[in-house]
Amino acid sequence: MLRDALAVAVEALSWMAYEGIGERAALLRASQQLNITSPSDLREAHKWVMETSRFQNRLDWFVMQVVPEELIKNASHGIRSLLRILAYLRFIDSKPASVLQRIVGVSRQTIGWRELRPYEESIARLVSSNPNSYVGHTPEFERVSLETCHPIWYVKRLIVTFGRPLALTILKRDLSTVATFARVNELKRENQTSFDEQLHSSQVKVVENVYALDKGGRADARAKLASSGEIVIQDLGSIVAGLVAAPGPGQVVLDVCASPGNKTSHLAAQMGNDGEIYSLEISASRSLQWKREMIRTGCRIATLIMADATKLPIRIQADVVLVDPPCSNSGVFARDPTSKWRLTPTRLKELVRAQGEILQEASEQLNEGGTLVYCTCSILPEENELVVETFLKKNPEYTLTQQRPFLGCPGLRGLSDCQRFFPHLHNCNGYFIAKMRKQ
Ligand SMILES: C[S@@+](CC[C@H](N)C(=O)[O-])C[C@H]1O[C@@H](n2cnc3c(N)ncnc32)[C@H](O)[C@@H]1O
């Protein structure tokens, strides 16, 4: 029902604004709080939350054209969320006036007519007006920010980094989502003919055991296979990072920053569940997620160590070290638009510092001749090539080596053995992989 979907979306957006939590946690909390379980309502609410987040600054701009500043200042999170949803439906989704009128009617029930009353006039203007163009007299960076829906500082950063034409292409690509990928989980293969039987013919094979999933139909079959662990929904770059690390049976692997565990189970699959994986994760809640994932995917050789990877509490001699540190998520803005509004220049600086420290600390556990893989879902060179360059300068016993498979494009700054993925080129998350060998 429209009313339930709207109530969940408004509540979830309000939690996100109020507590700064991600959309998944906010939707879960809102649906539990309102006791709404219908899959179609939750799907609709999810879409509204994601799309209003994707276009957030542009929607706010539209709202500001019709709602007096004073009213916006005093508006509750619920009202602000409703205004954004209406602006999305009106100006981005081009819904007819009749649909908007119905939503306004429903919002009188969900938000309460008393709270809504001071805004009724502005809402009537919002649902019936034609938008002014923001192109006119808006300064350059602000205009690009509104056009591509990214924070102004990030727009500037990308233009400086990639040059204007490429930066605009990258920024614009974040306005629509990217493909979904899955790998067949070989740890569950003995039980499984189901992927081949149920889904194989409708999927596009990327490399052995890796598929781009089509959007239409088969969603139920796919969800069933994912929940039984027979397939793992994982983005392309992340899968390729696991393949590039390529641990063999019997080896010792250090898996740094491990949760939710997609790479852990992939490493175990390549090892045939034979050898040892030490997985490091700092977060207690994400550690629980990792444990569930290991059960689901049938991984039996990984041990979780809950610790800060900048100060490793263990000393091991690993054959392979995989470092997947926290990052800006700038490669994931198309899939997860809420994260672009959480990133700040200060946060980015902290991340870069942690990435260098984690890489250095992890590398000290690697055997001579061993493989070190560093990867992020960021497109920013400061989190990628620059971290690797600094590391190589400090640790001359390491050299970059060729990667297999190589499905992306070469790294920047002449690091052609590194591999990058971009949403606009590869229809997957932006991703970076460096593979190094210790002499
Ligand atoms: C990019 S995610 C890892 C994804 C994971 N490797 C996978 O493929 O499923 C980064 C993880 O690092 C964890 N993390 C952040 N800072 C950390 C630290 N200092 N030490 C250990 N883990 C950390 C986060 O909690 C998060 O789970």
CATH classification at residue 85: 1.10.940.10
Cα(289)–Cα(28) distance, rounded to whole angstroms?
16
Could you read off the pLDDT of 385-397 as tens digits, one per residue?
A: 999 999 999 999 9
Query: What are the pLDDT digits (tens) for 231-266?
Result: 999 999 999 999 999 999 999 999 999 999 999 999
What pLDDT digit, counting tens, does each position of 307-352 carry?
999 999 999 999 999 999 999 999 999 999 999 999 999 999 999 9
My answer on whether 10 and 123 are in the same domain is yes
Atom of ligand 1 nearest to the CA of 283: 25
Same domain, 206 and 285: no
The answer to whether residues 201 and 258 belong to one domain is no
Q: Is 133 among the domain residues?
A: no
Residues 293 and 420 in one domain: yes
Pocket of ligand 1 (CB under 6 A): 238, 257-263, 280-283, 286, 308-310, 324, 326
Q: Could you list the residue range(s) of the whole structural domain that residue 156 is in?
A: 140-173
What pLDDT is stored for residue 197 in this prediction?
Answer: 65
One domain, residues 117 and 145: no
Same domain as 197, residue 307: no
Kindly give the distance from the C-alpha atom of residue 436 to the centroid of ligand 1, in angstroms, as a whole number.
20
* 144 in the same domain as 56: no
Answer whether 220's CB lies under 8 Å from 229's CB.
Answer: no
The CATH number of residue 374's host domain is: 3.40.50.150
Q: How far, in Å, CA of 364 to CA of 402, rounded?
A: 22
Q: Which of 257, 299, 327, 377 is catalytic?
A: 377
Q: For residue 38, tell me if it sits in a domain.
A: yes
